Structure 1
Amino acid sequence: MPIGYGWHNHPVTAPVAEIDIDADLVARLLRAQHPDLADRPLQLVANGWDNVIFKVGDDLCVRLPRREVAVRLIVNEQRWLPTLAPVLPARIPAPVRVGLPGQGYPWPWSVCAWIDGEIAARVPVADRRPVAAALAEFMTRLHVPAPPDAPVNPVRGVPLAVRDEQIQDRLTSGKLAREDELRRLWDELRETPVYAGPPVWLHGDPHPANLVLRGSTLEAVIDFGDITAGDPATDLAAAWLVFDAEGRAAFRAGTEADDATWARARGWALAIGTAIAVFADIHPGLADAGEHAISQVLADHG
């Protein structure tokens, strides 16, 4: 199915919007700042957690923050994605135009290319295996040393021990099956030697709802709101979040991960997978992804 930049086409219990965004507002913004797009038809395609997305004609979409907390994320994407896009082997939602506050709307916004494809979270796990090598190549090309002014993210790319309090809370919440097994595994993985290399660019949120497939091809990696620099193990958590054992083996074969990095990646998969599972009522479209990640993390033997 076609998608735009963002995956929240599922009903979610999202925070109340701080700004009312409708087609009339979008049309006025386009007319004032990008008049050559003003006559294109507009279609609301997502009203998600942080952003509203309108399709603009057949090949573009407009993405506007609906909450102030999301403004920093879109500014990071506007600043960095155009730099990264030319060196990556799959598409990313680099803005093709930038919008400014105006017409009563107080924040920056973006015009991005419309991406056709199927969200990997809606594709059977076995059918994702053909993109394992392509995703490994994407991660390898992305994971290059980042500049000192790369965005800072306190919950991605950091040592696993930094996340311990949050993970322990989840593992005693009563919301997860097999909590004792998960706690023992987490206690082991968080002791893995920390990353000692230079901070590299990270996507930061490598779950299957952020991958767009077209058949057996990796079409795009979307939603760079968590973009930051740090330990590449964070992104390599995709091995458990996205794939089964066979796909995971193909993914690892395409990376340069040593055993310590791979162990940390498993820890990150546990961290992200339990977050998805605990907050499944907020993001029901990802509930299966959380359960899948947990089962894969526990079934794997490292």
Structure 2
Amino acid sequence: MANTNQWDADWEVSEELVQRLIYSQFPELTSMRIKLIGNGWDNTVYLVGDEYIFRFPRRNVAIDLIKMEGRLLPKLADYMTIPCPQPLFYGQGNDEYPMPFLGYTYVSGEFPLGVADEQRAASATALARFLKKLHTFPPQLARESGAPYDHRNLRDVAGRKEKMRRFFADLNDHMQEEERLAMAGYLDQVQTDPVQQPDVFLHGDLHFKNMLVDEQGKVSGIIDWGDMNVGHPACDLSVAYSFLPPQARPLFFAEYGEVEEETKRLARMIAVYIPMLIWMQAIADQDEKVADEARATIKRALADEEPF
């Protein structure tokens, strides 16, 4: 099929196809019901029973990513201070669906849609401890397990700023005047000097569609590890701006450890960039809840007691 958007599928993964693949390869699961959870950019996700999540690549680019998850996630068990899925079922492609797929332990929680700032602030310390520990995983071991190096080229600040200007033009009609002014002001002052920082191991895609919260709004799980890579820590530290309100950020950075201002600036930029993409996809999918959360994330990322 011809793809128009970055998130368009190369493969449609129907429930009937999933049943055939899972039940034929893992007969111990044949008594469990299968339910579609949703589509991300790279994978279609199904719940099997109440115990397992299965992810099926829907884009060709996701094949190597899911293979990497299967190899690398088990090695991270001692580095996880917040629950994350662990691969248990390694599915193989066939003539009908020539892709590998994975079944994981189920991590409970809901996407943080509409969570109040006070609830978000309660996760500041837990998120900081999680990333502080995760970022100590040996980068060389990650690379040997298939993790790419800075595959999104996050250090190219000038190129990212130009993309954000294009996204801004696409989103302009969906923004309120206050939002337009805030975004325009932010983009005008973004510094585009190249950034330098020691490389660390990263989750690589830490936004609200890859996080789960409990009934109190506290982070209960981190999911979708397909973008693991070695690169700039600002990629993950963006969660301090995208998920946490301004008043919780000092606590986050006090727990994580010293972070240079250059890194904080790049973290904020990523915290704005990613939800712009999510917002555009939500508009295309007519998903108002996700669109509203993406809009709120951008507003939160731009908010601060200090100048940008």
Q: What is the DSSP-based 3-state SS (H/G/I as helix, E as strand, rest coil) of the residue aligned with 2:256?
A: coil
Asked if 1 retains the 8 angstrom alpha-carbon contact of 2:124 and 2:251, the reply is: yes
**Residue of structure 2 in register with 1:248 after alignment:** 249
Residues 138-287 of structure 1 correspond to what in structure 2 (within 5 A)?
138-144=130-136, 145-147=138-140, 148-149=143-144, 150-155=147-152, 157-173=154-170, 175=172, 176=175, 177=177, 178-179=179-180, 181-191=182-192, 194-197=195-198, 199-214=199-214, 215=216, 217-256=218-257, 257-282=259-284, 284=287, 285-287=289-291
Matched, 1:292 2:296: yes
The number of aligned residues is 288
**Residues 17-71 of structure 1: CA distance to partner in whole angstroms, max 9, x if unpaired?**
6244324x33333343322223333233334543332222221122212332332
Q: What is the DSSP-based 3-state SS (H/G/I as helix, E as strand, rest coil) of the residue aligned with 2:94?
A: coil
**Residues 172-224 of structure 1: CA distance to partner in whole angstroms, max 9, x if unpaired?**
44615554553443454434661231x21122222222211223643211122
**Distance in 2 between residues matched to 1:260 and 1:63, nearest whole Å:** 36
Q: What is the DSSP-based 3-state SS (H/G/I as helix, E as strand, rest coil) of the residue aligned with 1:264?
A: helix
Q: What is the DSSP-based 3-state SS (H/G/I as helix, E as strand, rest coil) of the residue aligned with 1:55?
A: strand
**Residue of structure 1 in register with 2:3 after alignment:** none
Which structure's relative contact order is higher, taking Cα pairs within 8 Å and 6+ residues apart?
Answer: 1
Residues 95-114 of structure 1 correspond to what in structure 2 (within 5 A)?
95-102=87-94, 104-114=96-106
**Residues 125-163 of structure 1: CA distance to partner in whole angstroms, max 9, x if unpaired?**
321221111011111111235224522454264342342
For structure 2, the 5+ residue unaligned runs are: 1-5
**Residues 199-251 of structure 1: CA distance to partner in whole angstroms, max 9, x if unpaired?**
21122222222211223643211122322221111111112211212233332
**Distance in 2 between residues matched to 1:95 and 1:170, nearest whole Å:** 35
**Residue of structure 1 in register with 2:127 after alignment:** 135
Cα RMSD of the aligned pairs, angstroms, is 2.8
Matched, 1:94 2:86: yes
Residues 118, 279 of structure 1: CA spacing in aligned structure 2 closer, same or farther, 3 A cutoff? closer
- Using structure 1 for the length normalisation, give the TM-score: 0.82
Residues 44, 275 of structure 1: CA spacing in aligned structure 2 closer, same or farther, 3 A cutoff? closer
Q: Comparing 160-169 with 106-115, which one deviates more in the overlay?
A: 160-169
Asked if 2 retains the 8 angstrom alpha-carbon contact of 1:40 and 1:56, the reply is: yes
Letter in 2 for 1:18: W
For structure 1, the 5+ residue unaligned runs are: 1-12
Residues 114, 263 of structure 1: CA spacing in aligned structure 2 closer, same or farther, 3 A cutoff? same
**Residue of structure 2 in register with 1:22 after alignment:** 15
Residues 71-82 of structure 1 correspond to what in structure 2 (within 5 A)?
71-82=63-74
**Distance in 2 between residues matched to 1:278 and 1:46, nearest whole Å:** 17
Asked if 2 retains the 8 angstrom alpha-carbon contact of 1:91 and 1:219, the reply is: yes
Asked if 2 retains the 8 angstrom alpha-carbon contact of 1:41 and 1:56, the reply is: yes
- Using structure 2 for the length normalisation, give the TM-score: 0.81
Residues 189, 141 of structure 1: CA spacing in aligned structure 2 closer, same or farther, 3 A cutoff? farther
The alpha carbon displacement at 1:98 in A equals: 0.9
Residues 201, 162 of structure 1: CA spacing in aligned structure 2 closer, same or farther, 3 A cutoff? farther
**Distance in 1 between residues matched to 2:22 and 2:45, nearest whole Å:** 14
**Residues 63-84 of structure 1: CA distance to partner in whole angstroms, max 9, x if unpaired?**
2123323323322222222222
**Distance in 2 between residues matched to 1:159 and 1:172, nearest whole Å:** 21
Matched, 1:70 2:58: no
**Distance in 2 between residues matched to 1:103 and 1:166, nearest whole Å:** 38
